Amino acid sequence: MLRHLLPAVLLALPAAAAPPEIDFISLHSAAEYASDASVGPIASVNNAALLYNRYAQLLDRDLCADVKAYADEHGGWEDASWAPEGELAERLAASGAIRGYLRAATIEHADFGVELELGIWATLPHLAPMRDAACVLAADARRLRAAGKPDAAAMRLAALVRMSRHACEDPVLIGSLVGVAIGNLACSEMQHFARSGEMTAGARQTLSGALSELEVDDPFRLREAVGNERDIFLPWFSAVLRDSDQAQVREIMTLFGEEPEPELLALDADGLIAAADRARGYYDLVAKVWDQPDATARLKEIEQLLESGGFGPVAKAIGASASRVHESSDRVEQRIADTRRALREAVIVRPKHALPEGEAETKRMP
């Protein structure tokens, strides 16, 4: 579209005028992706991260904030009764970024290129926009349900499920926890939908299909992510210390907070490396009991030993609360199972006539 627009704009200018400043983002968002017809299988891109990063630039941060505020004012996401109205609904309907995220979610894999070699200093700038976009997609699904477009609403909730899986493809714990948060939101909205009396056969097929793509066991790779704290962070920490003088060691201590434990501050580089090696024992024990029937209780016992210094000062400073992570894993797996059951039991209604989202009604000439 732009290659047709630009020559006409330039020809209309006086010869001495400077080229105009064109808002490419607005043109790209409002025109090319104004309809759900732009959503479909992507053949030209095989890494969803490229599209997530692109459409994060188009995502209206004010819209994200306003959606969250609106949800909070109306009882939160657990309250099934509200849907965006008025100006907020209009802004959601006009958002081209939503279609961009829908397109990204159709791609099987996402590699965000996390620089694991940087250890704890690796940046994860994609996670916050994904959480923001998840709220926007969930709100837009409510808007569409209220407008009598259940199939378009289902498309957005299915995208949430796929986004949740994409968030945890990089082997870091925070990514898996963001995946859990998005997955919980998707399941909550699907259950509201299933109990609403608005579910069509097509919408149920879309939602069930998306859920079927999640692994039954540890769908957000939390077990693996906790193990990667040991396999990625501890070797990086030791390698950095081997190349550091005492002043750099003191700087590294800031990783453990503004006031690290005195036991840590008393160690030189060699002592810290030894403490990091000792910390592996904590993660080894966590991995050993993770799949046991009484895993959560046993993990809490291991954490008591951790807090008492049983695995050394480095483990005490950095060890993730494995019991809370395990409880998150159990809860989200149960919520997925509950959502599958709610979809199976949903009352199916015949779809009402509705145009695809974003397409305008036109009158036929006689």
DSSP output for 247-301: HHHHHHGGGG-SS--HHHHT--HHHHHHHHHHHHHHHHHHHHHTTSTTHHHHHHH
Q: Does 23 fall in a domain?
A: no
Distance CA 208, CA 145 (A): 17
Average pLDDT over residues 6-25: 40
Q: Looking at the structure, tell me whether residues 167 and 181 fall in a common domain.
A: yes
Q: Does 279 fall in a domain?
A: yes
Q: Looking at the structure, tell me whether residues 173 and 282 fall in a common domain.
A: no
Q: Does 365 fall in a domain?
A: no
pTM attached to this predicted model: 0.86
Q: Does 12 fall in a domain?
A: no
Residue with tokens 């916050």: 128
Lowest-pLDDT range of 29-33, 183-187, 192-196, 211-215: 29-33
Tens-place pLDDT, residues 187-202: 999 999 999 999 999 9
Q: Looking at the structure, tell me whether residues 238 and 93 fall in a common domain.
A: no
**C-beta pairs of 43-46 under 8 Å, 24+ apart in sequence:** 45/107, 46/107, 46/108, 46/109
Number of compact structural domains in the chain:
2
Q: Looking at the structure, tell me whether residues 301 and 320 fall in a common domain.
A: yes
Task: Indicate the pLDDT class of residue 353, thresholds 50, 70 and 90.
Answer: low
- The residue range of the domain holding 255 is 224-326
Q: Does 35 fall in a domain?
A: no
Distance CA 282, CA 303 (A): 8
Q: Looking at the structure, tell me whether residues 134 and 230 fall in a common domain.
A: no
pLDDT > 50? residue 14: no
pLDDT > 50? residue 365: no
Q: Looking at the structure, tell me whether residues 168 and 237 fall in a common domain.
A: no
Task: Indicate the pLDDT class of residue 64, thresholds 50, 70 and 90.
Answer: very high
Looking at every residue in the chain, the average pLDDT score rounds to: 86
Q: Looking at the structure, tell me whether residues 204 and 293 fall in a common domain.
A: no
Q: Looking at the structure, tell me whether residues 212 and 261 fall in a common domain.
A: no
Q: Which stretches of the chain are DSSP H helices?
A: 2-11, 24-27, 48-56, 61-73, 86-94, 96-105, 127-146, 150-167, 173-194, 201-212, 222-228, 234-242, 246-252, 262-265, 269-289, 295-307, 313-318, 322-345
Q: Looking at the structure, tell me whether residues 148 and 190 fall in a common domain.
A: yes
Q: Looking at the structure, tell me whether residues 175 and 295 fall in a common domain.
A: no
Distance CA 204, CA 212 (A): 12
Q: Looking at the structure, tell me whether residues 72 and 192 fall in a common domain.
A: yes
Which residues does 92 contact at the CB level (< 8 Å), separation at least 6? 63, 67, 84, 98, 136, 139, 140, 143
Q: Does 96 fall in a domain?
A: yes
Q: Looking at the structure, tell me whether residues 50 and 197 fall in a common domain.
A: yes
Tens-place pLDDT, residues 145-161: 999 999 999 999 999 99
Nearest Cα neighbor of 326 from 352, 355, 297, 363 is: 297
Q: Does 14 fall in a domain?
A: no
Q: Does 266 fall in a domain?
A: yes
